[in-house]
Amino acid sequence: MWEDLNIAPEYDGFIFLAEAMRNPPVLRPHQHVELELNLVVEGEVTYVHDNQRYCFSKGSLLWLFPQQEHQLIDRTADAAYYVAVFTPTMLKQACRGERYDQLKQQQLSKSGILHTELRPAEFEGLRGEMAELVEEGLDSDLLNREAGFGQSAGFQFQHNDPDWMNAGLRRILLASWRLQSGQRRGRREVSLHPVVRQALNLIGQPDGPGDLAGLAHSVGVSPAHLSRTFRREVGVSLSRYRNSIRLGRFWEFYRQAPDENLLALVMRAGFGSYAQFFRVYVEAYGRSPRNSLKITVAKRGD
């Protein structure tokens, strides 16, 4: 799925700190024309790309290149990671020397998720630059709700000083590539069994099998075998992953129709009951829907 990151012409990209406790999950496979850089500062994040799983922890620097389809499949509750995005125009203007020529080429997107583990001093230096750049940006809660690029109609990333932010993005891009070129590239990928990859694809479809038995039948194995294999290779239980997908769908529906009955949105997202949604929501965000959706819930009388 192609994602339009909706970057205004005066910006060379954007940057924000994604926090699992505030950032609704966007777990569908997607790609975009921009280069994306992640720096994990707390917890762990897990991606799937090209039938392989990657788990990244604090200090990991990872690259998601233009047109490289990727899927966030899980995060620990304490996960926090900077997301920096750079437009194609910015890449052409900033990467002029031979040292940075690879950043403008496509072959890197075909060789897995490029990443490295930073030394403590390197990590703190890059983290500090990113933190300074986001200080004058939009409210962190708002950016997390909008996944940085805007999932609500009309949202666009903004910064109090676009020129300074653009200059900072260039420095972060070039500094990160210099660190990546240090050849301390970790091996984080785990190849996924075909039935697991099929299951991931089916779970991501709104009209996919509604229960474990139906999912297992669709991929040609027993429910017990699928459950064990999924947990071993993906790193989380199948039920947790399915609930994360449902939670992501809920947020999409909620933004599209904020005045619709809350229970109706919950059921459309695939939850079996409001009680199930409530439990998953609290596990994900550490607070009840009534606290974080207080005004809307009160209006609806749910």
Contacts of 145 (CB under 8 A, 6+ apart): 22, 23, 24, 151, 152
Sign of the C-alpha dihedral computed for residues 197, 204, 7 and 150 taken in this order: negative
pLDDT value of residue 73 = 85
The average pLDDT across 62-68 equals 92
- 204 pLDDT higher than 80: no
The average pLDDT across 249-256 equals 81
Confidence of residue 292 (pLDDT cuts 50, 70, 90): low
- 114 pLDDT higher than 70: yes
The residue that leads in pLDDT, 276 or 50, is 276
Confidence of residue 185 (pLDDT cuts 50, 70, 90): low
- 45 pLDDT higher than 50: yes
pLDDT value of residue 59 = 96
Q: Which domains does the chain have, with CATH numbers?
A: 13-189 (2.60.120.280), 194-300 (1.10.10.60)
- Beta bridge partners, 37, equal 63, 84
Strands (E), 123-217: 189-191
209-240 pLDDT, tens digit each: 878 899 999 999 999 999 999 998 888 889 88
pLDDT value of residue 178 = 94
Q: What 3-state DSSP class applies to 19?
A: strand
Strand arrangement of the beta sheet that strand 13-19 belongs to: 13-19, 80-86, 35-42, 60-64, 114-117
Question: Among residues of the chain, what percentage have pLDDT more than 90?
Answer: 49
- 261 pLDDT higher than 70: yes
Determine phi and psi for 191, rounding to 5 degrees: -70, 135
pLDDT value of residue 25 = 66
CB 32 within 8 A of CB 95: no
The residue that leads in pLDDT, 145 or 194, is 194
